[in-house]
Amino acid sequence: MHDMTKWSFFLSLLLCIFNTRTCFSNGSDTLSVGQSLSVTQSLISEGRTFELGFFRPGASQNIYLGIWYKNFADKIIVWVANRESPLNPASLKLELSPDGNLVLLTNFTETVWSTALISPILNSTEAILLDNGNFVIRDVSNTSITYWQSFDNPTDTWLPGGKLGINKQTGQVQRLISWKNSEDPAPGMFSVGIDPNGSIQYFIEWNRSHRYWSSGVWNGQGFTAIPEMRVNIYNFSVISNENESYFTYSLSNTSILSRFVMDSSGKMMQWLWLAGSSQWFLYWSQPADQADVYAACGAFGVFGGSTTSPCKCIKGFKPFGQNDWSSGCVRESPLQCQNKEGNRKKDEFLKMSNLTLPTNSKAHEAANATRCELDCLGSCSCTVFAYNNSGCFVWEGDLVNLQQQAGEGVSWAGADIYIKLAAAELQVENGAGKGNKRRTRAILAVVIPVTLITFGLFIYCCYLRKSKLHHKGEEDTSENLLFFDFDTCPNSTNNVPSSVDNRRKNVELPLFSYESVSAVTEQFSHKLGEGGFGPVYKGKLSNGVEVAVKRLSKRSGQGLEEFRNETMVIARLQHRNLVRLLGCCIERDEKILIYEYMPNKSLDFFLFDANKRQILDWGSRVRIIEGIAQGLLYLHRYSRLRIIHRDLKPSNILLDSEMNPKISDFGMARIFGDSETEANTKKIAGTYGYMSPEYAMDGLFSIKSDVFSFGVLLLEIVSGRKNTGFYHRDSLNLLGHAWKSWNSSRALDLMDPVLGDPPSTSVLLRHINIGLLCVQESPADRPTMSDVFSMIVNEHAPLPAPKQPAFATGRNMGDTSSSTSSAGFPSVNNVTVTMMDAR
Ligand SMILES: *[C@@H]1O[C@H](CO)[C@@H](O)[C@H](O)[C@H]1NC(C)=O
Ligand SMILES: *[C@@H]1O[C@H](CO)[C@@H](O)[C@H](O)[C@H]1NC(C)=O
Ligand SMILES: *[C@@H]1O[C@H](CO)[C@@H](O)[C@H](O)[C@H]1NC(C)=O
Ligand SMILES: *[C@@H]1O[C@H](CO)[C@@H](O)[C@H](O)[C@H]1NC(C)=O
Ligand SMILES: *[C@@H]1O[C@H](CO)[C@@H](O)[C@H](O)[C@H]1NC(C)=O
Ligand SMILES: *[C@@H]1O[C@H](CO)[C@@H](O)[C@H](O)[C@H]1NC(C)=O
Ligand SMILES: *[C@@H]1O[C@H](CO)[C@@H](O)[C@H](O)[C@H]1NC(C)=O
Ligand SMILES: *[C@@H]1O[C@H](CO)[C@@H](O)[C@H](O)[C@H]1NC(C)=O
Ligand SMILES: *[C@@H]1O[C@H](CO)[C@@H](O)[C@H](O)[C@H]1NC(C)=O
Ligand SMILES: *[C@@H]1O[C@H](CO)[C@@H](O)[C@H](O)[C@H]1NC(C)=O
Ligand SMILES: *[C@@H]1O[C@H](CO)[C@@H](O)[C@H](O)[C@H]1NC(C)=O
Ligand SMILES: *[C@@H]1O[C@H](CO)[C@@H](O)[C@H](O)[C@H]1NC(C)=O
């Protein structure tokens, strides 16, 4: 083959020397009349997006002429010329012949593929690969006259600008037809095309005839069965005139690449690539469930639902191809009626249960099952029979779309079916002769079902889950996060505390599909940190907006409906000092919350870092304290839900671009199911150092336990030091140190030294006083958040003297100095703990 290549190169060189017109320059985008493209050459579109040339799919030895994206390491083939006529000799070339046709020649003379235009001889044509992936034969003098284009002859891929239509003159439907398998572009069983009857929808068909999925009619904005397409990234148009009618689409954002593919798994897929990302991602695929793909496992293949190997052959059959299930399975031994000489034994029947059969059976009356069996045995075309009180049902020829089922309400779920096999097949297992036929059956009736039952159970589970989702209509309502525009979303409104009930009707929390959340976070790859309730990831929407995605750990005991309601309630809490909840995703056992992204990470990131601490001057610290107080006040008082945060700490205070504080993780206790107010709980969730004594020790929590945490936070902000992990000559923690300094009138020592001289000693002392009031031992002594807020704003009102704070002496609640993370969303330096109270 190598020699052949050399030879062809030498030959084209010779041709070049004798006739400059035939010399094609490698890598240009145009082929002129008489020029040809050899196996080692390629056409590259002007913008270098697409490349046309020869390729070998996978490990295949065959060579095809195709078009692929130029800029991806893996060749993603979008068009194949000779999909039905694979070639393997090296002496191949593509030529634009003098009659204006593109021809693929082998051995330099034999045509294996051609555009077959029967137009008049045109010597003024050229073939050009356009930057949208369309390969066109056009007129040189008037380039808007197109004689032929690859977009009119798609293989399995539909690119923006391409057509999916019908020729009204001939009634011929232009389809995307799947590859047979990943190494064979020959037309496979699955295809998608426009409704030949004229309605604006498309159908996926098996064997170009059996329809198993419909997109639903185009309603001007989307197809009903593809909610993902409702986003406004498309300009989707339907063009209809007397000659043809077709769909075409373009993308409004040219930095997005898109391709619809009729995949050899029987699903239609849309893949997108966003400028700058490292890989293509699957935007949607339909039918959503592989079980809905007709005949996914081919003849005599049984679909079992497992994702790794969904197909199995019925006993007595073996797979036809290695990776081509659409060709199904073939008999290991021929039937007697097919092979009279070699096989003397009468064919027998294998009994199977819980198999969904195709509906194309033929029914006739039969007195009993024995009669029915004899009828099937007597007809060579009969492959399966089943008998119930209505009569005898027989299936002829190849059986397709067999599915293993364990549920009720499925055809033949209860009844047994009998598959005709060569006698040899049934005897292999038993080593038994003809006389043991009954025993053979009996044993098989046990063995086969047992091996299939595990398989069946799995599908049953999938089925249950699927039907659950269907009931709630999840699939129809979930939105696509990637293309969501939060600015036009009704949810993005005011900070004014308002009645939850009034707003109930008009605020809807968007529910996003798991696929889109995964795409936005690039398969959950950029972890920002680990909050108390699960990891947080960064995501980026197509319009550049960044979001934080919190994937809740699975320990929440809530059901989906409860979770959704709860999230909806939390989403209605809107305040400028609370992190905004933008949406959620409930799918595949996942519960995910989508928040606004805070570029400045969390408070601890600044406060406890020797350098970054200096960014927080006295003014911004006061603003942060006030902001937290307002947010907490809103939660406790105005939200009407009286939310107790229970885990207030610097890592849960996020900072926006102007260093305004926003409380995060509020309402988590509700979401996680223990929402009793002022109660005691067996489960203590919180962080040592910020938990009030009554909560840490007795599990009692109330709004006053949040006040305690706020006091600790306030003292930390003023001093720039952590409550725990605090070392001083004679104090165990910051609270103890503050108390000592306060009593010895050296309270100013508490101030963070990086702040320099305090702008006003009285303001500083006032803050320390408030902080100490909040951390008093007895909850009754602590002020409420509204008291705290008025103390902060009324600078001249007298303040009570604080009593000794909790934990000031002796009991240190432990050191939680795990490493500080550089995370952006709730960071992890103080890990939230959950422990079961030992009471
Ligand atoms: C044509 O260009 C491609 C790279 O674009 C190169 O791999 C190939 O060897 C070239 N063929 C010839 C004949 O120069
Ligand atoms: C090309 O020629 C070789 C031998 O010269 C032959 O074996 C092969 O079948 C030919 N190819 C085609 C497509 O006819
Ligand atoms: C192309 O066609 C023009 C007339 O349409 C003719 O004059 C010219 O000779 C032709 N060239 C070739 C190479 O056939
Ligand atoms: C090119 O052809 C189109 C029709 O196909 C016609 O409208 C246009 O005027 C032609 N342009 C020239 C320059 O002849
Ligand atoms: C086209 O529509 C007619 C009536 O609406 C229906 O009977 C026929 O089956 C349809 N054909 C196809 C191929 O859908
Ligand atoms: C596909 O349909 C054609 C006729 O349309 C038929 O001859 C062929 O047997 C079908 N293939 C299978 C696997 O059923
Ligand atoms: C959408 O596409 C159609 C046909 O391709 C075109 O006529 C129309 O101007 C396009 N609209 C927008 C908004 O790009
Ligand atoms: C339809 O086809 C006829 C003949 O092929 C052509 O004359 C006519 O212009 C075409 N109509 C449109 C709208 O393209
Ligand atoms: C187009 O998408 C890219 C991301 O792929 C984004 O950065 C850019 O802002 C978008 N442009 C418009 C106009 O939406
Ligand atoms: C089944 O029906 C046939 C008549 O169609 C009868 O001869 C035979 O005895 C019946 N067998 C049993 C087991 O009832
Ligand atoms: C027998 O099976 C057929 C096909 O599934 C069904 O329509 C019929 O109702 C069944 N009859 C009885 C008595 O179960
Ligand atoms: C078939 O399904 C029924 C109902 O779910 C179940 O009771 C039975 O065990 C299943 N049989 C086999 C062999 O799986």
pLDDT at 408: 44
Cβ of residue 256 lying under 6 Å from some atom of ligand 9: yes
Q: Which among 24-28, 48-52, 474-478 has the top mean pLDDT?
A: 48-52
- Residues 163-178 have a mean pLDDT of 88
What are the distances in angstroms from CA 691 to CA 530, 688, 754, 778?
20, 6, 28, 13
Ligand 6 centroid distance, CA of 372 (Å)? 27
DSSP string for 466-477: HHHHHHHTHHHH
- Ligand 7: which of 240, 250, 252 to mutate, most ligand atoms within 8 Å of CB? 250
Q: What would the pLDDT profile of 622-645 be if each residue is shown by its tens digit?
A: 899 999 998 988 888 766 667 888
Q: How many Å apart are CA 258 and CA 249, to the nearest integer? A: 10
pLDDT at 185: 93
* Ligand 4 atom 9: residue of nearest CA: 142
Q: Which two tokens stand for residue 276?
A: 């700058």
Nearest ligand, CA 187: 6
Of the two residues 2 and 295, the one the predictor is more confident about is: 295
pLDDT at 355: 79
* Ligand 11 atom 8: residue of nearest CA: 390
Domain ranges for the chain: 186-294, 301-430, 481-596, 603-819
* Ligand 6 atom 12: residue of nearest CA: 207
User: Which ligand 2 atom is at minimum distance from the Cα of 87?
Assistant: 13
* Ligand 7 atom 13: residue of nearest CA: 235
Which residues are near ligand 10 (CB < 6 Å)? 367-368, 370-371
pLDDT at 693: 84
Ligand 5 centroid distance, CA of 263 (Å)? 27
* Ligand 4 atom 7: residue of nearest CA: 144
Q: How many Å apart are CA 763 and CA 714, to the nearest integer? A: 13
* Contacts for 118 with CB less than 8 Å, ≥ 6 apart: none
Cβ of residue 235 lying under 6 Å from some atom of ligand 7: yes
Ligand 5 centroid distance, CA of 197 (Å)? 6
Nearest ligand, CA 372: 10
Q: Which residues are catalytic?
A: 647
Nearest ligand, CA 258: 9
Q: How many Å apart are CA 208 and CA 191, to the nearest integer? A: 6
* Ligand 12 atom 6: residue of nearest CA: 406
Of the two residues 251 and 478, the one the predictor is more confident about is: 251
* Ligand 5 atom 3: residue of nearest CA: 197
- Residue tagged 């030959």 (tokens): 11
Ligand 9 centroid distance, CA of 543 (Å)? 5
> Which residue, 819, 702, 811, 721, is CA-closest to 768?
721
Mean pLDDT of the chain, nearest integer: 77
- Ligand 8: which of 243, 245, 246 to mutate, most ligand atoms within 8 Å of CB? 243
Q: What would the pLDDT profile of 73-109 be if each residue is shown by its tens digit?
A: 889 999 999 999 888 776 788 988 888 889 998 877 7
Question: Would you give the DSSP letter of residue 152?
Answer: G
Ligand 12 centroid distance, CA of 418 (Å)? 16
Q: How many Å apart are CA 649 and CA 709, to the nearest integer? A: 7
Residue 269: band (very low, low, confident or very high) from pLDDT cuts 50, 70, 90: very high
Taking CA 714 as the corner, what is the angle to CA 708 and CA 717, rounded to the nearest 5 degrees?
Answer: 145
Ligand 9 centroid distance, CA of 79 (Å)? 27
In this predicted structure, the answer to whether residue 814 has a pLDDT above a threshold of 50 is no
pLDDT above 90: percentage of residues in the chain: 18
Nearest ligand, CA 196: 5
Q: Which two tokens stand for residue 547?
A: 């979001």
- Ligand 5: which of 172, 194, 197, 212 to mutate, most ligand atoms within 8 Å of CB? 197
What are the distances in angstroms from CA 422 to CA 13, 301, 353, 425, 442?
62, 18, 20, 6, 18
What are the distances in angstroms from CA 180 to CA 63, 315, 331?
15, 24, 21
Which residues are near ligand 1 (CB < 6 Å)? 26-27, 40-42
Residue 501: band (very low, low, confident or very high) from pLDDT cuts 50, 70, 90: very low
> Which residue, 598, 608, 649, 599, is CA-closest to 628?
649
Nearest ligand, CA 371: 10
In this predicted structure, the answer to whether residue 440 has a pLDDT above a threshold of 60 is no
Q: How many Å apart are CA 441 and CA 435, to the nearest integer? A: 12
> Which residue, 576, 583, 594, 582, is CA-closest to 538?
594
Ligand 4 centroid distance, CA of 139 (Å)? 10
Q: Which among 15-24, 179-188, 472-481 has the top mean pLDDT?
A: 179-188
Residue 716: band (very low, low, confident or very high) from pLDDT cuts 50, 70, 90: very high
**Residue range 301-430, CATH number:** 3.50.4.10
Q: Which amino acid is at 371?
A: R
Ligand 8 centroid distance, CA of 243 (Å)? 6
For the chain, give the longest Cα–Cα distance.
112
Q: What would the pLDDT profile of 392-430 be if each residue is shown by its tens digit?
A: 888 888 888 888 775 544 455 456 788 888 877 776 555
Cβ of residue 141 lying under 6 Å from some atom of ligand 4: no
Q: What would the pLDDT profile of 554-604 be if each residue is shown by its tens digit?
A: 765 566 777 777 787 778 777 888 888 888 888 767 888 899 998 888 898
- Ligand 7: which of 151, 237, 253 to mutate, most ligand atoms within 8 Å of CB? 237
Q: Which two tokens stand for residue 198?
A: 């004229």
* Ligand 7 atom 12: residue of nearest CA: 235
In this predicted structure, the answer to whether residue 22 has a pLDDT above a threshold of 50 is yes
* Ligand 4 atom 13: residue of nearest CA: 142
- Residues 191-205 have a mean pLDDT of 89
Tell me if 37 sits within 8 A of 31, measured CB to CB: yes
Q: What would the pLDDT profile of 541-553 be if each residue is shown by its tens digit?
A: 888 889 999 888 7
- Look at the alpha carbons of 494, 499, 505, 511 in this order and tell me if their dihedral is positive or negative: positive
pLDDT at 90: 65
Which residues are near ligand 8 (CB < 6 Å)? 241-243
User: Which ligand 5 atom is at minimum distance from the Cα of 195?
Assistant: 14
**Residue range 603-819, CATH number:** 1.10.510.10
Cβ of residue 237 lying under 6 Å from some atom of ligand 9: no
Ligand 6 centroid distance, CA of 75 (Å)? 32
Nearest ligand, CA 144: 4
pLDDT at 640: 62
Q: How many Å apart are CA 407 and CA 564, to the nearest integer? A: 29
In this predicted structure, the answer to whether residue 806 has a pLDDT above a threshold of 70 is yes
* Ligand 10 atom 13: residue of nearest CA: 370
Q: Which CATH superfamily is domain 481-596 in?
A: Phosphorylase Kinase; domain 1 (3.30.200.20)
Phi then psi dihedrals of residue 770, to 5 deg: -60, -45
17-21, 24-28, 223-227, 351-355, range with the lowest pLDDT: 17-21
Which residues are near ligand 5 (CB < 6 Å)? 196-197
